[in-house]
Amino acid sequence: MSATLRGGVIGAGVFGGHHARKYASLPGTRLIAVYDADLGRAEALAGPLGGQAFADLDAFLATVDVVTVASPATFHAAQALAALRAGKPVYVEKPIGVALGEADEIIAEADRRGLVVAIGHQQRVVFQAMGLFDIPEQPLSLEAVRHGPPSERSLDVSVVLDLMIHDLDLALSLSGAQPVTAEAEGVIDFSGGWDAARAEITFDDGLVAVFDASRRAEGFKRTMRIAYPSGEVEVDFLTHAFRNTTPYALNPDYDDTPAAKDQLAASVEAFLRAVRGEAPRPIVTAGEGARALDLALAVEQALEAGR
């Protein structure tokens, strides 16, 4: 593998653009190629960044050292597996796939080839910067709200796999407990699938977590409240403010840290360090991505059961 990693991005949409610009700007990497089934879209993204556009996946994979999969979620698994089978470490935007069997295939292929897989649950970077993962208590309850207005993005999956999965991953990363039950109700709206959902999940240590996600709201709201035995932490992801009544210090200036200012860059850099052998793992591993997917699918099953 070359000293300067040659980055390639699958998917020339909004998120593909974000990733392409990171490869073009981060030290030790350059943007070499963009793949999209629409060659014109790939050219429009790759050209200004000095990369080459491809509509042939095999030809694309032959030119790169590392791959980001930023296509629609229903393509994530197949394209991640193609990259792994070509010997390329891969960063997969969330979710890792849309079925647990897909996640299992990715994990098995990466293990077989000794390749790094990172999953794009980037808001863990914020919790790291705040110091939330250092609180030495298990949460007693958690409430998360993630609302946004209607959008054409990510309509190939439900609001659970689109929005709620962010908070499901954060809850799993905060608690070492195992989820045991999931109850949910929701609304099927403009996408033809679940566009709003509220889920209550109980964990084996007694933690009760409530998740409220909507992509049919009038505006944006993204908050989380975590209750511990010694107090509470409330986070507003939009204003970057938090309230802490626990005795454990959190970083009041976290929003000024480079990682919090650019969560995607921090996440991609951690992936690249793992690829180079400079770090033991990316911020979110394939196994952790699979765990968040498993819980999201349990919520979807509860939604279907309640129809």
- In 3D, which of 233, 259, 92 has the Cα closest to residue 165? 92
Instruction: Please give the DSSP secondary-structure letter assigned to residue 70.
Output: -
pLDDT at 160 over 70: yes
DSSP of 135-176: --S--SEEEEEEE----STTTTS-HIIIIIHHHHHHHHHH--
287: CB partners within 8 A, 6+ apart: 107
Is the alpha carbon torsion for 163, 76, 73, 259 positive or negative?
positive
Summarised one tens digit per residue, pLDDT across range 274-288 is 999 999 999 999 999
Residue 65 has, within 13 A of its CA and on its CB side, a CA count of: 16
Q: How confident is the model at residue 54 (pLDDT cuts 50, 70, 90)?
A: very high
- C-alpha span between 250 and 114 (Å, rounded): 36
Q: What is the mean pLDDT of residues 115-127?
A: 96
Q: What is the mean pLDDT of residues 206-229?
A: 97
pLDDT at 1 over 70: no
- C-alpha span between 30 and 66 (Å, rounded): 10
Tell me what percent of the residues of the chain surpass a pLDDT of 70. 99
- C-alpha span between 123 and 256 (Å, rounded): 15
Summarised one tens digit per residue, pLDDT across range 93-117 is 999 999 999 999 999 999 999 999 9
Q: Which residue has the tokens 């045991």?
A: 180
pLDDT at 255 over 70: yes
Q: What is the mean pLDDT of residues 48-58?
A: 97
pLDDT at 152 over 90: no
Is the alpha carbon torsion for 106, 84, 162, 98 positive or negative?
negative
pLDDT at 306: 84
Q: Which residue has the tokens 């993962």?
A: 133
Instruction: Please give the DSSP secondary-structure letter assigned to residue 86.
Output: T
CA angle 139, 142, 144 (to 5 degrees): 145
Domain boundaries, the chain: 5-120+264-284, 124-256+292-305
210, 145 Cβ separation under 8 angstroms: no
pLDDT at 304: 96
Torsion of CA 7, 9, 15, 18, to 10 degrees: 30
Q: How confident is the model at residue 3 (pLDDT cuts 50, 70, 90)?
A: confident
pLDDT at 235 over 90: yes
Mean pLDDT of the chain: 96
DSSP of 205-238: TS-EEEEEEESSSSS-EEEEEEEETTEEEEEETT
Residue 248 has, within 13 A of its CA and on its CB side, a CA count of: 16
> Tell me: domain 124-256+292-305, CATH 2.60.120.40, correct?
no
Q: What is the mean pLDDT of residues 149-159?
A: 90
Whole-model pTM: value is 0.96
90, 119 Cβ separation under 8 angstroms: no
**Which 3 state secondary structure label does DSSP give 184?**
strand
- C-alpha span between 193 and 74 (Å, rounded): 14
Tell me what percent of the residues of the chain surpass a pLDDT of 90. 95
| Other residues' Cβ atoms within 10 Å of the Cβ of residue 54 | 23
pLDDT at 2: 60
As assigned by CATH, the class of the 5-120+264-284 domain is alpha beta
pLDDT at 222 over 80: yes
The residue ranking higher by pLDDT, 153 or 239, is: 239
Q: What is the mean pLDDT of residues 152-174?
A: 95
